[in-house]
A = this chain, B = another copy of it.
Amino acid sequence: MLPGNVSPVTEEEVAGKPTTAVAGTRWLSQDERAAWLANSALMISLPAALDARMQRESQLTFFEYMVLSVLSEEPDHTMQMSRLAARTSASLSRLSHVVGRLEKRGLLARARIPGPGRRTNTTLTEAGYEVVVAAAPGHVAAVREFLIDELEPHELATLNRIGTAVEAAINRAAGSTSVETSVP
């Protein structure tokens, strides 16, 4: 459980309604606050739990696994950097660092794309593919244990909706980074 990381004042000022503003701010209502706290705990604890387990079982970060996994699902185990970045919700910079490390470990390889522009392809190596395949069952098990198997079907559906909506709201606020997101 998380606390009231919401307003620096004590209960009394917040009252019941989701509206009102003491000094121009719409504070959170009781329900909103509770939902936000629960979500904070989820946001903080879930990635940490998954990271810890993947690290133990496969010497991979949650994010590294995502990268390898996305590549493994392409027919040719290959994807362009910027596209891979969009697919993993990561900045190009972050991806570049991670790919650099994974390349050093021999799990994937980079290659300039001949055409116009400065584009780079990333491809899984044999070793890389074997690592993902080996790590997958543990990953899925963890996802089930911590999240999926805890939820009812309608909760799953709602979670899907929420994730999508939030992602949209963030991209909207970011002024749209204008990267490919849809599957061709």
Which residues in B have their C-beta under 8 angstroms from that of A145? 169, 173
Q: Does A15 contact B (CB under 8 A)?
A: no
Q: Are A140 and B25 in contact (CB under 8 A)?
A: yes
- Chain B residues in 8 Å Cβ range of A26: 140, 144
Residues of B within 8 A of A162 (CB): 38, 42, 150-151, 155, 158-159
Tell me the nearest residue of chain B to A27, going by C-beta: B140
Number of interface residues of A (CB under 8 A): 85
Classify the interface of chain A: helix, strand, loop or mixed.
helix
Q: List, in ascending order, chain B residues with CB within 8 A of A63's CB.
A: 44
Query: Which residue of chain B has the shortest Cβ distance to A67 in the bound complex?
Result: B5
User: B25, A141: Cβ atoms under 8 Å?
Assistant: yes
List A124-175 residues whose CB lies under 8 Å from chain B. Answer: 129, 132-133, 135-137, 139-141, 143-148, 150-151, 153-170, 173-174
